[in-house]
Amino acid sequence: MKRDIVIHEVGLRDGLQMEHRTVPIETKVAWAGELMQAGVDILQIGSFVHPEKVPQMRDTDELFRHFAAAYPHRRTVLAGLVLNEKGLERGLACGVDMFCMGVSASETHSRKNTGMGVDEAVGRITAMARTAQEAGKKVQVSVQSAFGCGYEGAVSPARVTDIVAKYLEAGFGNVSLADTAGHATPGQVEELFGAIRDMDARAELTCHFHNTYGLAMANTWAALGAGVKYVESSVAGLGGCPFTRIAGGNLCTEDFVHMLQRMDLRLDLDLATLIGTARSVAAFFERDLPGAVYRTGPIAEPRPAS
C-alpha cells in the first residue's frame, strides 16, 4: 500500500450541492479554512454552474477570489468543477488552481447532468481541458457513473475505458473514476482501475465513491490496492449528485483519515480539526450526518515512544 495518499476534499461542492438550506458564505469560508488547517491536499470549494439550477453554488466565484487573495502561498490546491465553457471562463477569472471536469459513461445521466450526449461532452471537455492547461492550470478529467447508473443500470467497462482512452490520447493523465450512483463493488474497482493502469502506467488515478449502498470505504481500499493515489471524500460524509436517481453521500473524510492513521498513514493530517468541522456542519444542518467518527470520537491509541 502506498504511503503517499492524497486527500481531495469535496464537501463544499459535492457535499453541499444537495442541501436545500443555503449556507452563508461566511460559514463556508470558516469551514474551508478549517479544512485547509487540517492539511487536506486538494480542496474543491465549488462548482461553476447556473445559480438557478444549483443555488448553493451561487457564491463560488466569490469564494475563490477570497481564498486566492487571503492565501497567496497556500499549500492546499483549490479546485473547482466546471461543466461548460462559461464555467471555465468564470473559473479562470477568479483564481482556481485545478479544474475538475468530466463526462458520464451513462447517456441518460449525461443528458440530465449537462444537457449533452456522451460523444458531444467528450469533445467539449477535452477542448476545455486543453484551454485550462494552456492557462497554466492543473486539470483532472473524470468519468462519472463509471460503475453503474441509477437510470440505466450496469455500465459496460468498455464504455469507461473508451472515454479514458480519449483523455489519454489528448494528453490528460490525471483521471478520476466516479461511482455516481454508488453501484461499485471492490472487484469491479480493482478490475477497472487495473485496466486503466494497463493502458498507461504513468496515469495519476483518482477515485470518487458514493456510499449509497454502504460500500464507499471498501471500494476506496480496493482502489488504493489497484494503484490509485488520489481519493475524493467529503467532510461528515455529505454529498450526492442532484441529477442521479438515488443520491447517496460520499466517502467520509474524517472516517477515512481515522482508518489511515490507525494504519500509521497520513499522520500529518489533523484529525481533531476534521472532526470539529464535521460536528460544525452537523450542527448547522441540525441533523445527524452519514459520518461515524464525528459522533463516536476516534479510537485513541498510545503510540510507542520514538
The residues carrying an active-site annotation are: 241
What is the number of other CB atoms lying within 10 angstroms of the CB of residue 138? Answer: 15
218 phi-psi bin (left φ>0, alpha ψ -120 to 50, beta other): alpha
What is the distance between the terminal CA atoms of the chain, rounded to a whole angstrom?
A: 23
Q: Which of 56, 57, 55, 79 is nearest to 67 (CA)?
A: 79
CA distance 111 to 184: 22
CA quadruple 82, 86, 90, 91: dihedral sign = positive
In DSSP terms, which residues pair with 144 in a beta bridge? 104
What residues contact 252, with CB distance under 8 A and at least 6 apart? 211, 216, 233, 234, 235, 236, 237, 278, 290, 291, 292, 293
249 phi-psi bin (left φ>0, alpha ψ -120 to 50, beta other): beta
Question: 210: which DSSP letter?
Answer: B
Q: Which of 236, 212, 217 is nearest to 287 (CA)?
A: 236
CA quadruple 164, 165, 167, 173: dihedral sign = positive
